[in-house]
Amino acid sequence: MAQPPEEWGLTLVRPTAYEYASSTIAPTGNRRALLRWYIQKREGYPVARLKICAASGCEEFALPGQSHCEQHEAERQNKLKVRRAKAQTSEAAIAARVLYADPRWKAARIAYLRQHPLCVDCGELGVIEPATDVDHIIPHKGDRKLFWDRSNWQSLCHSCHSRKTAREVFHG
């Protein structure tokens, strides 16, 4: 059984069948929930701080505030870093950087935001949020004609634009 870090000052012992059966409030069927409940009962330690790593088959405790142990969190961060680097080095990303650096784009973007000052996505939800980004509805992927097609533009707030862009880049 995995042990919590020494600085937490806890030692885990498997509860006996009697201890399982002696409580009417102990969770049943979920090993993780039962372990957390048992530790809280025995040590008076907050349950939220003792999560088991979300990686399949891992029995280590997750880092505080994280869902993975130290090893699996490092692996997750490395995978994310590789994915982000790959997205930035594609031909489309390089072509897009050139287009977005054009002074004509910067002027056209400001003019479009003046004409369309509210986020389209938030507006569909009934929320009034100022737009900060001009989004291409159909990703242009470096195509100049699609890039400059104003019927392909929409105003979005930064969080809506980030969510849409991440979905397009990482999920096709």
Q: Does one domain contain both 167 and 107?
A: yes
Q: Does one domain contain both 96 and 151?
A: yes
86 domain-assigned: no
Q: What's the domain count of the chain?
A: 2
pLDDT of residue 140: 86
pLDDT of residue 18: 47
Q: Does one domain contain both 101 and 126?
A: yes
Q: Find the DSSP H helices in 3-90.
A: 17-22, 31-43, 70-88
Q: What is the mean pLDDT of the chain?
A: 80
56-97 tens-digit pLDDT: 888 888 887 788 889 999 999 999 899 888 877 878 778 888
pTM over 0.95? The answer is no
108-146 tens-digit pLDDT: 999 999 999 999 999 999 999 999 999 999 988 888 999
Domain region containing 45: 6-79
**Pairwise CA distance, residues 22 & 166, whole Å:** 50
Lookup: tokens for 88: 């930035």
Nearest Cα neighbor of 53 from 83, 37, 76, 81 is 76
Q: Does one domain contain both 106 and 58?
A: no
Q: Does one domain contain both 69 and 20?
A: yes
